[in-house]
Amino acid sequence: MPIELYESVKGKYFIGYADNLTFANGTSAWARLYNPRGSGVNLHVNVWTVSDISESPFRAQFWFNADPPGVPEESTLVTPSNTAIQPAPRPRVKLQQASDVRGEPKYGVRAFVRIGEPGVTLVETENGKLIFPPGGSFLVYVTLQEDAKAAASGKIAFGWWEEKI
């Protein structure tokens, strides 16, 4: 049985996305899975996507445990993947987002970078190998390539499970 199915059957697998992210003219956007201190779970990132980026080539940076610029908003577009369980499980991990921010993430580790073209979806399945304890986070930070003046918008989505500590 695939691990994703196993975690879904237990009510521990969640999916969600940050929608309507906007950035242009030197600003950026980001979305992250944030595991709050005291959550009592480890976060396992299974899959991420960056899509619907318009107009210009873009760069997606992937940061571990960084402090992003701007004021985070919590996405309401999160659901358990197993909708047969009632009442529906609720994630302890938060999906946060911000648009039109200035500055780079601080602290943490920039783990990897991907370059994308307009209309192309970046996607990767991590199989849960990216693990973050309480207080940790997985951040996707999106900017336009150098000298791009066009306005951009897009979505960042995640699939993850939570393991009780």
Domain extents for the chain?
3-164
State the Cα angle at 50 between 88 and 134, rounded to 5°. Answer: 50
Rounded to 10 degrees, the C-alpha dihedral 29/90/79/84 comes to: 170
Q: Is this model's pTM higher than 0.85 or not?
A: yes
Is residue 5 within a helix (H) or strand (E), and if so which, with residue range?
Answer: helix 3-9
Amino acid identity for residue 3 in this structure? I
Half-sphere exposure of 113 (CA within 13 A, CB side): 9
Six token digits for residue 51: 């899509």
- Minimal CA–CA distance to 44: which of 135, 130, 146, 139? 130
Task: Identify the CATH class of 3-164.
Answer: mainly beta
96-132 pLDDT, tens digit per residue, is 999 999 999 999 999 999 999 888 899 999 999 999 9
The pLDDT of residue 55 is: 74
Taking the C-alpha atoms of residue 44 and residue 132, their distance in angstroms, rounded to an integer, is 7
> Residues of 9-32 as b/e, b for ≥16 C-beta within 10 angstroms?
eebbbbbbbbbebebbeebbbbbb
pLDDT band at 147 (very low <50, low <70, confident <90, very high): low
The per-residue pLDDT of the chain, averaged, comes to 94
